[in-house]
A = this chain, B = another copy of it.
């Protein structure tokens, strides 16, 4: 590897002082036109790139934002990340992506690394911030981090942690779906997927049960089949639900992944969706469009989530005042997986 040039090299070649080179680089102070041009020419000629590490040490900003999320192969997180990166890039920040796989110890490790690397902000989604009951040690760790680095939680909340938050109104999203299904004539609805104890599940299930009661919709206990948030879980839960003698006319899924699995399972069992049974998802990842039928779902507005999360940490990093809680609106996205209920059920 070729040894990199420094401002000293440039300065010497341009016949100016290192400070002048630095001034040209940052644009933070006046430099005479001729010297500036001379310096710029030398920089260009040598393809000089300033050492961001050295710069960071003195400016105390790394121009990096850490993003901790469970799994980037999940299109929901990938889409949020993509937009976050896109916006961050426009502000001059790069993103360190940390997949925690939902494991607490990996989260802890990454939190430590990100603090050491002096990132200018941390965006965290999934894992501990998603536990309905926050574990104190997890909270303490995050609090410690928050004292050093701007921190925002996406779609989560930690008891005892007064962090900034960007979140979706998941309950409202569920209500939108229930309302939609009700209007289609559904009076018997099931709910599959999700892990109890995770807010992404608990909020939705509660909203579902509350809405069901309000609308006079029946939901038998055996129609509620938790599992996890994966496609496989959707398959398993749907299979379990469909093995009941008495079936609902529609099934809501905790997220699009489980809805994908539910669709796959139902189809395999010979059910025609939506004629025999309606299915809904949650998130509006692009995969819902490629299925036949495309899955009716609720959009979390992933782009806005990603963008807002970056906005929060960057503003905090710049010492600006930022709204503590930012709620992103959901919207119902009607596709082809729900039909008017014409069954005798």
Interface centre among A50, A99, A144, A286, by most chain B C-beta atoms within 10 angstroms, is A99
**Considering only CB atoms, which chain B residue lies closest to A71 in the complex?**
B82
Question: A117–B94 contact, CB under 8 A?
Answer: yes
A159 lies within 8 A of chain B by Cβ:
no
Binary flags per residue of A88-129, CB closer than 8 Å to B gives 1, else 0: 010000111111000000100100110111100000000000
Shortest CB-to-CB span from A92 to chain B, Å, is 9
A249 lies within 8 A of chain B by Cβ:
no
A328 lies within 8 A of chain B by Cβ:
no
**Considering only CB atoms, which chain B residue lies closest to A51 in the complex?**
B118
A149 lies within 8 A of chain B by Cβ:
yes
Size range of the interface on A? 35 or more
- Known A52-B117, A82-B99, A148-B2: A264·B292 in contact at CB below 8 Å: yes
A203 lies within 8 A of chain B by Cβ:
no
| B-side contacts of A292, CB under 8 Å | 264, 267-268
Bound complex: CA A144 to CA B96 (Å): 24
Bound complex: CA A116 to CA B48 (Å): 9
**Considering only CB atoms, which chain B residue lies closest to A79 in the complex?**
B73
A29 lies within 8 A of chain B by Cβ:
no
Q: List 27 A-B contacts (CB under 8 A).
A: A1-B148, A1-B149, A2-B148, A4-B148, A51-B57, A52-B116, A52-B118, A53-B56, A54-B57, A64-B96, A72-B72, A72-B82, A75-B75, A81-B97, A82-B99, A85-B97, A89-B109, A94-B113, A94-B117, A95-B97, A96-B97, A97-B97, A231-B289, A260-B290, A261-B290, A264-B291, A267-B292
